[in-house]
Structure 1
Amino acid sequence: MLLIGLFVFQRQWKAIWGFVASIALLTAFTALAVGPSSITGLINISLMNSIPIQVHWIDNASPAAFLHRLAGALNIAPLEQGLRWLAILVVLGVLSLSSLPQKPANDPVFGLLFGLWVLGMHLISPITWAHHLVWTLLVVAVTAGYLVHLNAQRTMPLAIVLAISYMLIAFENLTLNRFGQWQFKRGWWFLSGDYLREYFFADVRLVALVILFGFIAALVFQSNRTLYWRRWFNMASVRPELKS
């Protein structure tokens, strides 16, 4: 449902109506096929009960899970909810600001925006399993297409950053887990014990997601820098005075 925000900002009304119609038809079909209790069961059992429990599982690579582990390790559990909401607001702020300029659907920057919102979905969701990250294949594809369209001298370093970030996202769990058990028997980073040894591969994926999110956001803002400059600082009205 987060992805609908992209089409709202871009004023793609046909996509919005298609989304609303699809949800209405699927909900009605589900209620007719298996009964309305299935919908209430989804809300009460899956959304309200299962998701909060699964946030704490070691395979969860979401910021919510990382902040839960971090708050527990640093004994700042009362701050956990506030930190989670702060992270969500930061992600939503980046998505909103980057999506203000409207782009046609055939513009490579629109593909970047789509990839950014998909990554935002992973970062806002309380649960991000490894199989959810298959969506990042689309993100890598549209970003690679934009880099080809860019055709600048800095394209190769940017492509290397893109490749490394996806490599870390797609890393094999068993490899990272074995490395963590061998290398970090006494803990690592500024924490001690089993914290990051046990959750090492999930944290690696999260760091890679954050890097990729920031990387694509930088590309989007870079493509819109002139528009932002003129809009926020009213450069259009200053230029005639500078020329005179």
Structure 2
Amino acid sequence: MRVGLIRVMTTSDRRLLHAHGKLLQEAFGFTVTSRCIPDQPSGVYDQASLESAAPKVVQLAQEMAGEADALIISCTSDPGLAATRAAVAIPVIGAGAAAAAAALTFGGRIGVLGLGAHVPGPIAESLGDRMLLIDGEGRLETPDAFLMPAGIFDALAAAHMLVDAGADVIVQASTGLSSIGMADVLRRRLGVPVIDAVTAAGSMLVSAVFAREVQKV
């Protein structure tokens, strides 16, 4: 399957740009083309950056749709998701909605690990009262902070606090954590299910394409 991956953090670092595509290629065998929207070096982290990103995502999706079987918006805030689906004729998956759906398949409390106490809308709306947050969790303000040693240590500490507070599963509420491969580290350290938003989007895409094929039969 040819997948167009839309990154909302602007970068010229090819290793960082293709980090999420590599996850999808290794997990699902997709052929992934990754491109990033312009002028957002810190990605999406608040309402203003979300509103700025949404039209850029739609425009980039339209540019990529002709050479892809499906698109993934690799951001847990799912900027421009509804508008993108209306603008192109192929499946479009948002990492935030996919991560929340995957987390809900597990029982119990769902610990949300991301930028401090900020929870992206698609995740907060889906998890409702099953969501567990730690007051004052972390000092990170933007997704690119996870690329720094302090950001990595903050994420590890916050994940341990979530489990200590009763989380039965952890959902990574920032794809910045996907860029550093945090899910595998947390699974080994904590012994609880950890949902990576990028791979959750890949799983959702497989299910969506399968459902389409069944309808055609």
TM over 0.5: same fold? no
Structure having the larger proportion of residues in helix: 1
TM-score (norm 2): 0.27
Greater gyration radius: 1
